[in-house]
Amino acid sequence: MQAAITTTTTTVCAHPHTKPSSAPFLRLSPPCRVSFRASLLPNLRATAMAATSQQQEQLVITRPDDWHLHIREGGVLEAVLPHSARHFGRAIIMPNLKPPVTTMARAVEYREEIMRALPPGSSFVPLMTLYLTDNTSPEEIKLARKSGVVFAVKLYPAGATTNSQDGVADIGKCLPVLEEMVRQEMPLLVHGEVTDPHVDTFDREKVFIDKILSPLVQNLPQLKIVMEHITTMDAVNFIESCEEGAALLLEWPYTFALFNDYNTFMFPGHVAATVTPQHLLLNRNALFQGGLQPHNYCLPVLKREIHRQAIVSAVTSGSRRYFLGTDSAPHDKRNKECSCGCAGIYSAPVALSLYAKVFEEAGALDKLEAFTSFNGPDFYGLPRNTSKIVLRKSAWKVPATYKHSSGEIVPMFTGSTLDWLPSDQPEE
Ligand SMILES: NC(=O)N[C@@H](CC(=O)O)C(=O)O
Protein backbone atom coordinates (compact mmCIF):
# COMPACT_ATOMS: atom_id res chain seq x y z
CA MET A 1 0.00 0.00 0.00
CA GLN A 2 2.25 2.71 -1.26
CA ALA A 3 1.23 6.05 -2.60
CA ALA A 4 3.57 7.24 -5.27
CA ILE A 5 4.40 10.50 -6.93
CA THR A 6 5.78 9.54 -10.32
CA THR A 7 7.79 11.56 -12.75
CA THR A 8 8.60 10.52 -16.29
CA THR A 9 11.74 8.84 -15.06
CA THR A 10 11.46 8.17 -11.35
CA THR A 11 8.99 7.14 -8.71
CA VAL A 12 9.14 8.77 -5.31
CA CYS A 13 7.24 7.41 -2.38
CA ALA A 14 4.87 9.89 -0.84
CA HIS A 15 4.14 7.85 2.26
CA PRO A 16 6.21 4.75 2.50
CA HIS A 17 4.46 1.84 4.14
CA THR A 18 1.51 3.90 5.19
CA LYS A 19 -1.23 2.10 6.94
CA PRO A 20 -4.80 3.25 7.56
CA SER A 21 -5.28 5.20 10.77
CA SER A 22 -7.43 2.38 12.02
CA ALA A 23 -4.20 0.48 12.61
CA PRO A 24 -4.99 -1.43 15.78
CA PHE A 25 -3.43 -0.56 19.09
CA LEU A 26 -2.92 -4.27 19.49
CA ARG A 27 0.30 -3.87 17.56
CA LEU A 28 1.72 -2.24 20.68
CA SER A 29 2.60 -5.58 22.11
CA PRO A 30 4.69 -5.61 25.27
CA PRO A 31 7.47 -5.52 26.25
CA CYS A 32 8.21 -2.54 23.97
CA ARG A 33 8.66 0.90 25.51
CA VAL A 34 6.75 3.83 24.15
CA SER A 35 6.99 7.58 24.19
CA PHE A 36 4.64 10.38 23.15
CA ARG A 37 5.77 13.19 20.89
CA ALA A 38 3.36 15.83 19.68
CA SER A 39 3.10 15.88 15.90
CA LEU A 40 6.64 14.83 15.29
CA LEU A 41 5.88 12.48 12.47
CA PRO A 42 4.80 14.88 9.75
CA ASN A 43 8.14 16.72 10.03
CA LEU A 44 10.13 13.55 9.97
CA ARG A 45 8.19 12.36 6.96
CA ALA A 46 8.65 15.68 5.25
CA THR A 47 12.41 15.35 5.59
CA ALA A 48 12.29 11.83 4.30
CA MET A 49 10.29 12.90 1.32
CA ALA A 50 12.00 16.13 0.31
CA ALA A 51 13.10 14.41 -2.81
CA THR A 52 10.85 15.56 -5.56
CA SER A 53 12.31 18.68 -7.03
CA GLN A 54 12.00 17.77 -10.71
CA GLN A 55 9.08 18.76 -12.83
CA GLN A 56 6.38 16.23 -12.08
CA GLU A 57 4.26 14.78 -14.83
CA GLN A 58 1.79 12.83 -12.79
CA LEU A 59 0.72 12.16 -9.26
CA VAL A 60 -0.71 8.87 -8.08
CA ILE A 61 -2.51 9.40 -4.81
CA THR A 62 -4.88 7.55 -2.56
CA ARG A 63 -8.45 8.37 -3.59
CA PRO A 64 -9.43 11.59 -1.83
CA ASP A 65 -12.58 12.34 0.16
CA ASP A 66 -14.49 15.61 0.28
CA TRP A 67 -15.23 16.56 3.88
CA HIS A 68 -17.63 19.39 3.01
CA LEU A 69 -20.00 19.05 0.06
CA HIS A 70 -23.39 20.48 -0.98
CA ILE A 71 -25.19 18.38 -3.59
CA ARG A 72 -28.80 19.59 -3.14
CA GLU A 73 -31.74 17.47 -4.34
CA GLY A 74 -33.68 16.46 -7.47
CA GLY A 75 -32.37 17.56 -10.86
CA VAL A 76 -29.42 19.48 -9.45
CA LEU A 77 -28.35 16.48 -7.38
CA GLU A 78 -28.46 14.28 -10.48
CA ALA A 79 -26.35 16.76 -12.43
CA VAL A 80 -23.67 17.48 -9.83
CA LEU A 81 -23.25 14.16 -8.00
CA PRO A 82 -21.28 12.45 -10.82
CA HIS A 83 -18.65 15.22 -10.64
CA SER A 84 -17.88 14.35 -7.03
CA ALA A 85 -18.45 10.61 -7.32
CA ARG A 86 -15.95 10.35 -10.18
CA HIS A 87 -12.89 11.16 -8.08
CA PHE A 88 -13.86 11.22 -4.41
CA GLY A 89 -14.37 8.08 -2.35
CA ARG A 90 -16.66 9.66 0.21
CA ALA A 91 -18.11 13.04 1.05
CA ILE A 92 -19.62 14.69 4.07
CA ILE A 93 -23.02 15.78 2.74
CA MET A 94 -24.24 19.12 4.04
CA PRO A 95 -27.78 19.15 5.44
CA ASN A 96 -28.87 22.70 4.48
CA LEU A 97 -31.76 21.61 2.29
CA LYS A 98 -35.17 23.21 2.32
CA PRO A 99 -36.44 22.00 4.79
CA PRO A 100 -33.13 21.08 6.45
CA VAL A 101 -32.08 17.57 7.41
CA THR A 102 -32.75 17.80 11.14
CA THR A 103 -33.53 14.17 11.96
CA MET A 104 -31.91 10.81 11.53
CA ALA A 105 -34.98 9.59 9.58
CA ARG A 106 -34.66 12.47 7.10
CA ALA A 107 -30.90 11.82 6.77
CA VAL A 108 -31.62 8.20 5.87
CA GLU A 109 -34.18 9.29 3.23
CA TYR A 110 -31.78 11.84 1.77
CA ARG A 111 -29.05 9.23 1.63
CA GLU A 112 -31.36 6.93 -0.32
CA GLU A 113 -32.06 9.70 -2.83
CA ILE A 114 -28.31 10.20 -3.26
CA MET A 115 -27.68 6.47 -3.72
CA ARG A 116 -30.38 6.37 -6.44
CA ALA A 117 -28.73 9.29 -8.24
CA LEU A 118 -25.27 7.71 -8.31
CA PRO A 119 -23.90 6.63 -11.68
CA PRO A 120 -24.05 2.81 -12.13
CA GLY A 121 -21.06 1.05 -10.63
CA SER A 122 -20.02 4.00 -8.49
CA SER A 123 -18.57 3.14 -5.10
CA PHE A 124 -18.97 6.69 -3.75
CA VAL A 125 -20.18 6.77 -0.13
CA PRO A 126 -22.23 9.70 1.15
CA LEU A 127 -21.55 10.45 4.84
CA MET A 128 -24.67 12.13 6.15
CA THR A 129 -24.93 15.01 8.62
CA LEU A 130 -27.67 16.46 10.82
CA TYR A 131 -28.58 20.15 10.87
CA LEU A 132 -28.39 21.45 14.44
CA THR A 133 -31.21 23.65 15.74
CA ASP A 134 -32.01 25.12 19.14
CA ASN A 135 -34.48 22.22 19.52
CA THR A 136 -32.36 19.24 18.50
CA SER A 137 -32.62 16.60 21.24
CA PRO A 138 -29.82 14.48 22.68
CA GLU A 139 -31.99 11.49 21.75
CA GLU A 140 -31.67 12.42 18.07
CA ILE A 141 -27.87 12.26 18.40
CA LYS A 142 -28.10 8.75 19.87
CA LEU A 143 -30.37 7.70 16.99
CA ALA A 144 -28.00 9.29 14.51
CA ARG A 145 -25.00 7.43 15.87
CA LYS A 146 -26.93 4.15 15.94
CA SER A 147 -28.07 4.62 12.33
CA GLY A 148 -24.52 4.16 11.08
CA VAL A 149 -25.17 6.64 8.26
CA VAL A 150 -24.80 9.96 10.13
CA PHE A 151 -21.19 11.02 10.73
CA ALA A 152 -21.44 14.59 12.02
CA VAL A 153 -23.72 17.43 13.08
CA LYS A 154 -23.60 20.81 11.36
CA LEU A 155 -23.88 24.09 13.23
CA TYR A 156 -25.13 26.98 11.11
CA PRO A 157 -25.60 30.17 13.09
CA ALA A 158 -29.17 31.21 12.18
CA GLY A 159 -29.05 33.47 9.14
CA ALA A 160 -25.34 33.00 8.39
CA THR A 161 -25.63 31.47 4.91
CA THR A 162 -27.77 29.56 2.39
CA ASN A 163 -30.79 27.90 4.08
CA SER A 164 -29.51 28.63 7.56
CA GLN A 165 -32.62 30.37 8.86
CA ASP A 166 -33.51 27.33 11.00
CA GLY A 167 -29.99 27.14 12.41
CA VAL A 168 -28.78 27.86 15.92
CA ALA A 169 -29.90 31.16 17.44
CA ASP A 170 -28.73 30.39 20.99
CA ILE A 171 -25.81 27.99 21.37
CA GLY A 172 -26.51 27.80 25.11
CA LYS A 173 -29.67 25.83 24.31
CA CYS A 174 -27.58 23.22 22.49
CA LEU A 175 -25.40 22.31 25.47
CA PRO A 176 -27.17 19.01 26.31
CA VAL A 177 -26.90 17.99 22.64
CA LEU A 178 -23.22 18.91 22.49
CA GLU A 179 -22.58 16.88 25.65
CA GLU A 180 -24.31 13.90 24.05
CA MET A 181 -22.13 14.40 20.98
CA VAL A 182 -19.05 14.10 23.19
CA ARG A 183 -20.40 10.81 24.54
CA GLN A 184 -21.22 9.56 21.05
CA GLU A 185 -17.92 10.86 19.61
CA MET A 186 -19.94 12.71 16.98
CA PRO A 187 -18.02 15.63 15.41
CA LEU A 188 -19.50 19.12 15.30
CA LEU A 189 -18.98 20.90 11.98
CA VAL A 190 -19.05 24.64 12.39
CA HIS A 191 -19.91 27.43 9.99
CA GLY A 192 -17.78 29.93 11.90
CA GLU A 193 -19.36 33.32 11.40
CA VAL A 194 -21.41 35.56 13.69
CA THR A 195 -24.54 36.99 12.16
CA ASP A 196 -24.75 40.28 14.08
CA PRO A 197 -25.40 42.88 11.34
CA HIS A 198 -23.20 45.37 13.23
CA VAL A 199 -20.15 43.17 12.74
CA ASP A 200 -18.31 43.85 9.48
CA THR A 201 -18.73 40.95 7.04
CA PHE A 202 -14.94 40.56 6.78
CA ASP A 203 -14.60 40.25 10.59
CA ARG A 204 -17.35 37.74 11.20
CA GLU A 205 -15.08 34.69 11.34
CA LYS A 206 -12.70 36.26 13.85
CA VAL A 207 -15.54 37.46 16.08
CA PHE A 208 -17.10 33.99 15.95
CA ILE A 209 -13.81 32.45 17.08
CA ASP A 210 -13.48 34.91 19.98
CA LYS A 211 -17.08 34.84 21.16
CA ILE A 212 -18.34 31.35 20.37
CA LEU A 213 -15.67 28.87 19.32
CA SER A 214 -12.92 29.51 21.88
CA PRO A 215 -15.36 29.35 24.83
CA LEU A 216 -16.91 26.21 23.34
CA VAL A 217 -13.55 24.46 23.06
CA GLN A 218 -12.70 25.48 26.63
CA ASN A 219 -16.01 24.24 28.01
CA LEU A 220 -16.12 21.01 26.03
CA PRO A 221 -12.51 20.09 25.25
CA GLN A 222 -13.49 16.55 24.34
CA LEU A 223 -15.90 17.64 21.61
CA LYS A 224 -14.51 16.95 18.14
CA ILE A 225 -14.88 20.12 16.11
CA VAL A 226 -14.20 20.86 12.46
CA MET A 227 -14.03 24.54 11.67
CA GLU A 228 -15.35 24.48 8.13
CA HIS A 229 -14.01 26.47 5.18
CA ILE A 230 -11.55 28.63 7.13
CA THR A 231 -10.78 32.00 5.57
CA THR A 232 -8.47 33.94 7.90
CA MET A 233 -5.11 33.85 9.65
CA ASP A 234 -7.16 34.18 12.83
CA ALA A 235 -8.69 30.81 12.09
CA VAL A 236 -5.26 29.32 11.39
CA ASN A 237 -3.94 30.74 14.68
CA PHE A 238 -6.95 29.37 16.49
CA ILE A 239 -6.54 25.89 15.03
CA GLU A 240 -2.82 25.91 15.86
CA SER A 241 -3.59 27.03 19.42
CA CYS A 242 -5.83 24.04 20.11
CA GLU A 243 -4.44 20.93 21.68
CA GLU A 244 -2.56 18.97 19.11
CA GLY A 245 -2.71 15.27 18.39
CA ALA A 246 0.11 13.13 19.69
CA ALA A 247 2.38 10.65 18.01
CA LEU A 248 3.08 7.44 19.75
CA LEU A 249 6.51 6.20 18.75
CA LEU A 250 7.86 2.81 19.54
CA GLU A 251 11.41 2.86 20.82
CA TRP A 252 14.27 0.53 19.97
CA PRO A 253 14.25 -2.14 18.59
CA TYR A 254 11.37 -0.63 16.65
CA THR A 255 12.95 2.76 15.91
CA PHE A 256 12.97 2.04 12.18
CA ALA A 257 9.32 2.81 12.61
CA LEU A 258 9.89 6.56 12.67
CA PHE A 259 8.90 6.66 9.03
CA ASN A 260 6.61 3.73 9.13
CA ASP A 261 3.00 3.85 10.24
CA TYR A 262 2.97 0.14 10.91
CA ASN A 263 4.63 0.97 14.19
CA THR A 264 3.42 4.43 14.95
CA PHE A 265 0.05 5.69 16.01
CA MET A 266 -1.31 9.19 15.80
CA PHE A 267 -4.00 10.57 18.02
CA PRO A 268 -5.52 13.45 16.11
CA GLY A 269 -6.40 16.52 18.17
CA HIS A 270 -10.00 17.47 18.75
CA VAL A 271 -10.08 20.56 16.55
CA ALA A 272 -9.38 20.56 12.81
CA ALA A 273 -10.34 22.58 9.75
CA THR A 274 -11.47 22.06 6.19
CA VAL A 275 -10.14 24.31 3.46
CA THR A 276 -11.74 25.15 0.11
CA PRO A 277 -9.98 25.72 -3.22
CA GLN A 278 -11.30 29.27 -3.42
CA HIS A 279 -9.87 30.33 -0.06
CA LEU A 280 -6.49 28.93 -1.13
CA LEU A 281 -6.44 30.56 -4.57
CA LEU A 282 -8.44 33.77 -4.42
CA ASN A 283 -8.48 36.89 -2.31
CA ARG A 284 -11.25 39.44 -2.08
CA ASN A 285 -10.05 41.29 -5.19
CA ALA A 286 -11.53 38.38 -7.13
CA LEU A 287 -15.00 39.62 -6.20
CA PHE A 288 -14.50 42.90 -8.03
CA GLN A 289 -11.97 42.18 -10.79
CA GLY A 290 -13.26 43.95 -13.92
CA GLY A 291 -16.75 44.27 -12.40
CA LEU A 292 -18.82 42.37 -9.86
CA GLN A 293 -18.03 38.62 -10.03
CA PRO A 294 -20.97 36.69 -8.60
CA HIS A 295 -19.36 33.31 -9.25
CA ASN A 296 -16.57 34.16 -6.80
CA TYR A 297 -19.06 34.99 -4.07
CA CYS A 298 -19.33 32.50 -1.25
CA LEU A 299 -19.63 32.53 2.51
CA PRO A 300 -17.52 33.05 4.47
CA VAL A 301 -16.57 35.70 1.92
CA LEU A 302 -13.05 35.81 0.40
CA LYS A 303 -10.60 37.80 2.51
CA ARG A 304 -7.40 39.85 2.12
CA GLU A 305 -4.27 38.38 0.52
CA ILE A 306 -2.46 38.03 3.87
CA HIS A 307 -5.19 35.69 5.03
CA ARG A 308 -5.00 33.61 1.86
CA GLN A 309 -1.25 33.30 2.32
CA ALA A 310 -1.62 32.21 5.94
CA ILE A 311 -4.02 29.46 4.92
CA VAL A 312 -1.76 28.26 2.09
CA SER A 313 1.20 28.09 4.50
CA ALA A 314 -0.80 26.18 7.08
CA VAL A 315 -2.15 23.65 4.63
CA THR A 316 1.08 23.06 2.72
CA SER A 317 3.11 22.77 5.94
CA GLY A 318 2.03 19.15 6.21
CA SER A 319 0.00 19.70 9.38
CA ARG A 320 -2.54 16.97 9.97
CA ARG A 321 -5.13 19.43 11.25
CA TYR A 322 -6.26 20.54 7.79
CA PHE A 323 -8.08 18.53 5.21
CA LEU A 324 -9.90 18.80 1.92
CA GLY A 325 -13.44 20.19 2.04
CA THR A 326 -14.49 21.79 -1.21
CA ASP A 327 -17.70 23.44 0.05
CA SER A 328 -18.77 22.95 -3.57
CA ALA A 329 -22.13 24.73 -3.51
CA PRO A 330 -24.08 24.67 -6.79
CA HIS A 331 -26.67 27.36 -7.46
CA ASP A 332 -28.53 27.85 -10.71
CA LYS A 333 -26.86 30.48 -12.89
CA ARG A 334 -29.96 32.71 -12.65
CA ASN A 335 -29.74 32.73 -8.86
CA LYS A 336 -26.11 33.83 -9.00
CA GLU A 337 -26.41 36.43 -11.77
CA CYS A 338 -29.23 38.55 -10.38
CA SER A 339 -29.92 41.53 -8.14
CA CYS A 340 -29.48 39.51 -4.92
CA GLY A 341 -27.24 36.59 -5.79
CA CYS A 342 -26.81 33.43 -3.70
CA ALA A 343 -23.57 32.64 -1.90
CA GLY A 344 -21.78 29.52 -3.07
CA ILE A 345 -19.10 28.45 -5.55
CA TYR A 346 -19.49 25.29 -7.62
CA SER A 347 -16.04 23.70 -7.45
CA ALA A 348 -16.62 19.93 -7.56
CA PRO A 349 -15.42 19.45 -11.18
CA VAL A 350 -12.25 21.53 -10.70
CA ALA A 351 -11.37 21.14 -7.05
CA LEU A 352 -8.69 18.44 -7.32
CA SER A 353 -6.90 20.26 -10.13
CA LEU A 354 -6.95 23.42 -8.06
CA TYR A 355 -5.67 21.85 -4.86
CA ALA A 356 -2.81 20.29 -6.87
CA LYS A 357 -2.02 23.73 -8.31
CA VAL A 358 -1.82 25.24 -4.80
CA PHE A 359 0.52 22.54 -3.51
CA GLU A 360 2.63 22.66 -6.66
CA GLU A 361 3.03 26.44 -6.45
CA ALA A 362 4.05 26.09 -2.80
CA GLY A 363 6.62 23.41 -3.73
CA ALA A 364 4.74 20.97 -1.53
CA LEU A 365 3.30 18.35 -3.88
CA ASP A 366 4.66 15.68 -1.54
CA LYS A 367 2.15 16.89 1.08
CA LEU A 368 -0.88 16.90 -1.20
CA GLU A 369 -1.94 13.33 -0.54
CA ALA A 370 -2.10 13.71 3.25
CA PHE A 371 -4.34 16.76 2.81
CA THR A 372 -6.62 15.16 0.22
CA SER A 373 -6.74 11.58 1.45
CA PHE A 374 -5.31 10.94 4.94
CA ASN A 375 -5.96 13.77 7.40
CA GLY A 376 -9.73 13.72 6.95
CA PRO A 377 -10.38 10.02 7.58
CA ASP A 378 -7.81 10.04 10.40
CA PHE A 379 -9.69 12.84 12.14
CA TYR A 380 -13.07 11.16 11.67
CA GLY A 381 -11.66 7.80 12.78
CA LEU A 382 -12.52 6.18 9.45
CA PRO A 383 -10.25 3.98 7.33
CA ARG A 384 -8.36 5.65 4.52
CA ASN A 385 -9.42 4.74 0.99
CA THR A 386 -7.43 1.97 -0.59
CA SER A 387 -7.90 2.72 -4.30
CA LYS A 388 -5.85 5.35 -6.14
CA ILE A 389 -6.42 8.15 -8.59
CA VAL A 390 -4.05 9.82 -11.00
CA LEU A 391 -3.51 13.53 -11.59
CA ARG A 392 -1.77 14.12 -14.91
CA LYS A 393 0.07 17.29 -15.83
CA SER A 394 -2.10 17.95 -18.83
CA ALA A 395 -3.97 21.13 -19.77
CA TRP A 396 -7.76 20.90 -19.81
CA LYS A 397 -10.45 23.48 -20.28
CA VAL A 398 -13.13 24.01 -17.67
CA PRO A 399 -16.57 24.01 -19.36
CA ALA A 400 -18.44 27.32 -19.30
CA THR A 401 -21.46 25.73 -17.62
CA TYR A 402 -22.93 22.39 -16.62
CA LYS A 403 -26.59 21.70 -17.41
CA HIS A 404 -29.11 20.46 -14.88
CA SER A 405 -32.77 19.53 -15.34
CA SER A 406 -34.04 23.12 -15.46
CA GLY A 407 -31.02 25.35 -16.02
CA GLU A 408 -27.25 25.66 -15.79
CA ILE A 409 -24.54 25.89 -13.17
CA VAL A 410 -21.39 27.93 -13.70
CA PRO A 411 -18.30 26.20 -12.25
CA MET A 412 -15.42 27.88 -10.47
CA PHE A 413 -12.80 29.10 -12.97
CA THR A 414 -15.35 28.77 -15.76
CA GLY A 415 -13.80 28.54 -19.23
CA SER A 416 -10.22 28.70 -17.98
CA THR A 417 -7.45 26.20 -18.61
CA LEU A 418 -6.16 24.15 -15.70
CA ASP A 419 -3.00 22.11 -15.45
CA TRP A 420 -3.73 18.97 -13.48
CA LEU A 421 -6.23 16.54 -14.98
CA PRO A 422 -7.62 13.94 -12.58
CA SER A 423 -8.49 10.53 -13.91
CA ASP A 424 -9.84 7.45 -12.28
CA GLN A 425 -7.40 4.65 -12.61
CA PRO A 426 -3.64 4.54 -12.32
CA GLU A 427 -2.10 3.03 -15.43
CA GLU A 428 -0.95 -0.52 -14.90
N1 LIG B 1 -20.52 28.38 0.99
C2 LIG B 1 -21.53 29.04 0.51
O3 LIG B 1 -21.36 30.20 0.15
N4 LIG B 1 -22.76 28.52 0.39
C5 LIG B 1 -23.22 27.24 0.89
C6 LIG B 1 -23.50 27.28 2.36
C7 LIG B 1 -22.27 27.44 3.20
O8 LIG B 1 -21.50 26.47 3.37
O9 LIG B 1 -22.03 28.55 3.68
C10 LIG B 1 -24.50 26.85 0.13
O11 LIG B 1 -25.15 25.89 0.56
O12 LIG B 1 -24.82 27.46 -0.88
The least confident of 109-118, 253-262, 363-372 is 253-262
Answer for the pair 204, 231: CB distance below 8 angstroms, yes or no: no
**The model scores a pTM over 0.95:** no
User: Pick the catalytic residue: 19, 68, 331, 388?
Assistant: 68
The sign of the dihedral angle between the CA atoms of 238, 245, 377, 271 is negative
pLDDT digits (tens, 9 = 90+) for 198-243: 999 999 999 999 999 999 999 999 999 999 999 999 999 999 999 7
User: Pick the catalytic residue: 229, 333, 336, 388?
Assistant: 229
Q: Can you list the domains of the chain with their CATH numbers?
A: 3-423 (3.20.20.140)
375 Cα to the center of ligand 1, angstroms: 23
Answer yes or no: 15 catalytic.
no
Pocket test of ligand 1: the residue of 76, 194, 226, 327 to mutate, having most ligand atoms within 8 Å of its CB, is: 327
Answer for the pair 48, 257: CB distance below 8 angstroms, yes or no: no
pLDDT digits (tens, 9 = 90+) for 17-66: 333 333 222 233 233 333 333 333 444 343 334 334 457 799 999 999 99
Nearest residue by C-alpha to atom 8 in ligand 1: 327
Answer for the pair 138, 180: CB distance below 8 angstroms, yes or no: yes
Query: Quick one: which atom of ligand 1 is closest to the CA of 160?
Result: 9
Burial class (CB in 10 A: 0-12, 13-18, 19+), 395: exposed
pLDDT digits (tens, 9 = 90+) for 313-341: 999 999 999 999 999 999 999 999 999 99
- Does any ligand 1 atom lie closer than 6 A to the CB of residue 80? no
pLDDT of residue 37: 35
Answer yes or no: 154 catalytic.
yes
The least confident of 2-11, 81-90, 213-222 is 2-11
pLDDT of residue 56: 79
- Does any ligand 1 atom lie closer than 6 A to the CB of residue 327? yes
Query: Quick one: which atom of ligand 1 is closest to the CA of 228?
Result: 8
419 Cα to the center of ligand 1, angstroms: 27
Answer for the pair 371, 364: CB distance below 8 angstroms, yes or no: no
Buried b (16+ CB within 10 A) or exposed e, 270-304: bbbbbbbbbbbbbbbeebeeeeeebbbbbbbbbbe
User: Pick the catalytic residue: 65, 261, 327, 378?
Assistant: 327
Percentage helix, strand, coil for the chain under 3-state DSSP, each rounded to 5:
35, 20, 45
Written as one string, the DSSP assignment of 170-210 is -GGGGHHHHHHHHHHTPPEEE------TTS-GGGHHHHHII
Answer yes or no: 191 catalytic.
yes
Nearest residue by C-alpha to atom 6 in ligand 1: 162
- Does any ligand 1 atom lie closer than 6 A to the CB of residue 409? no
User: Pick the catalytic residue: 19, 191, 295, 303?
Assistant: 191
- Does any ligand 1 atom lie closer than 6 A to the CB of residue 162? yes
User: Pick the catalytic residue: 70, 83, 206, 303?
Assistant: 70
195 Cα to the center of ligand 1, angstroms: 14
ipTM of the complex as predicted: 0.98
